[in-house]
């Protein structure tokens, strides 16, 4: 009788965790394991054997349960995935040089490899605002008002609400080219 009661309690607990967290989540842990599995070899047959072994061992089952019960719940309630990349880098070749873009948890650092100068772009989740660091002080340049509109901070203390669409960005570009051409 005790084993049956324990089983019922565990099933109820697991169902409650899933039902009360109400989160889908990004399944970062499961996706990382699957991504690694896809890159084990250039042979799809070797990758399939590894996949099958991970299914039998039960690597995939354990990572999925960990995602559902722990990682996705943390992501849902805190807004941050504990397995998210904290810092990665990517090289970009642009018209005016080569840049190194470092992703950080709260934004980006962009380094011009030619001049060795850099700029930090910081995102504040609380205010939904992007800032550039200038002389160790944040200078706000854009705030998300909703999913379709941002407020852009212009020189001289002016602001402009910009619709996040082709026409909204085109209008913003026209204003900048007309009113602020002398700043280039």
pLDDT tens for 3-44 read 777 777 777 766 655 555 555 677 777 888 888 888 877 778
More confident residue, 130 or 60: 130
Looking at residue 89, its pLDDT comes to 82
d(CA 8, CA 30): 27
Residue 120: strand pairing partners: 109
Whether the predicted pLDDT of 184 surpasses 70: no
Phi first, then psi, for residue 65 (nearest 5°) are -65, -40
Looking at residue 127, its pLDDT comes to 93
Whether the predicted pLDDT of 84 surpasses 80: no
Whether the predicted pLDDT of 143 surpasses 60: yes
Strands (DSSP E) contained in the chain are 87-94, 97-104, 107-112, 118-124, 129-134, 137-144, 149-153, 159-163
Q: How far is CA 75 from the centre of its chain?
A: 12
Neighbouring C-beta atoms of residue 116, cutoff 10 Å: 7
Report how far apart, in Å, the C-alpha atoms of 52 and of each of 10, 27, 34 are: 28, 20, 12
Whether the predicted pLDDT of 140 surpasses 70: yes
More confident residue, 182 or 164: 164
Of 59-68, 107-116, 137-146, 164-173, the one with minimum mean pLDDT is 59-68
Looking at residue 145, its pLDDT comes to 92
d(CA 18, CA 183): 55
Contacts of 125 (CB under 8 A, 6+ apart): 79, 106
Whether the predicted pLDDT of 183 surpasses 60: no
Of 55-59, 63-67, 81-85, the one with minimum mean pLDDT is 81-85
When pLDDT is averaged across residues 104-124 and rounded to a whole number, the result is: 86
Looking at residue 114, its pLDDT comes to 87
Torsion, Cα 47 87 143 116, to 10 degrees, reads -120
Looking at residue 20, its pLDDT comes to 52
């Amino acid at each position: 009788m005790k084993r049956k009661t324990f089983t019922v309690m565990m099933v109820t607990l697991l169902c409650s965790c899933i039902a009360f967290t109400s989160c889908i989540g990004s399944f970062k842990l499961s996706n990382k394991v699957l991504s690694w599995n896809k890159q084990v070899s250039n042979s799809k047959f070797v990758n399939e054997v590894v996949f099958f072994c991970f299914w039998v061992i039960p690597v995939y089952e354990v990572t999925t349960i960990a995602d559902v019960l722990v990682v996705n719940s943390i992501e849902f309630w805190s807004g941050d995935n504990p397995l998210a990349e904290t810092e990665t880098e990517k090289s970009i070749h642009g018209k005016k040089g080569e840049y190194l873009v470092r992703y950080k948890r709260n934004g980006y650092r962009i380094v011009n490899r030619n001049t060795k100068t850099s700029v930090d772009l910081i995102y504040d989740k609380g205010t939904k605002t992007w800032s550039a660091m200038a002389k160790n002080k944040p200078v706000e340049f854009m705030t998300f008002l909703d999913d379709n509109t941002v407020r852009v901070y212009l020189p001289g203390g002016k602001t402009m609400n910009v619709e996040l669409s082709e026409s909204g960005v085109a209008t913003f570009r026209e204003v900048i080219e007309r009113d602020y051409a002398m700043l280039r």
